[in-house]
Amino acid sequence: MRSPIATIVLLLAAVGCSGSATTSSTTLSRCEVVGQALSGSIAAGLTVQGGGTLRGAQAVKSTEYDKVWMVSADIEGPGLGGKDNIGTWATNDLTGNGMIFSVNAVAREFSQWGPGLKPSDDGVAESRACVTVALR
């Protein structure tokens, strides 16, 4: 038989975990795999010395704008090891034929796409989370 304190601790842990799991499930349900055309369009603007590529690109439709997707991907190239070089861009067209803007500091540092929107806008953190899961 469990002590009342152990039961309370387990219940509190379960409540804390369930909130986090629900948020993660909601976030991940918004993920869209980015096609080659859009990945190629974004990659064409990379400024990584020695050449750069994108991997794990994921998009999330922003709820703050009518026709804006936040697209995140891990940038790879010389000196960019690991999975923490995730750039985020905004676009109005998932086919790669629309406008593209850099959203976060990584995208601004390693691409020529002009700045647009804010890192705090809906879809930015979510698309980054999608990339993190895709690269596991």
42 contacts: CB under 8 Å, gap ≥ 6: 54, 57, 71, 73, 89, 91, 96, 100, 111, 113
Q: Are residues 21 and 38 in the same domain?
A: no
Q: Are residues 46 and 71 in the same domain?
A: yes
- Ramachandran area for residue 122 (φ above 0: left; ψ -120 to 50: alpha; else beta): beta
Give the Cα separation of 29 and 5 in Å (integer).
36
Residue 23's domain comprises 1-30
pLDDT above 70 as % of the chain: 81
pLDDT of residue 110: 96
Q: Are residues 83 and 16 in the same domain?
A: no
Quote the number of domains for the chain: 2
Q: Are residues 21 and 82 in the same domain?
A: no
Closest listed residue to residue 94, CA positions, set 131, 57, 120: 57
17 contacts: CB under 8 Å, gap ≥ 6: none
103 contacts: CB under 8 Å, gap ≥ 6: 70, 88, 89, 90, 115, 116, 117, 118, 119, 121, 124
Dump pLDDT digits (tens) for 86-126.
Answer: 999 999 999 999 999 999 999 999 999 999 999 999 999 99
Q: Are residues 23 and 49 in the same domain?
A: no
pLDDT category of residue 24 using cuts at 50, 70 and 90: low
User: In the structure encoding, which two tokens stand for residue 32, read together?
Assistant: 């869209």
Q: Are residues 65 and 45 in the same domain?
A: yes
Q: What is the mean pLDDT of residues 60-65?
A: 97
Q: Please tell me whether residue 39 adopts helix, strand or coil conformation.
A: helix
Place of tokens 């698309």: 127
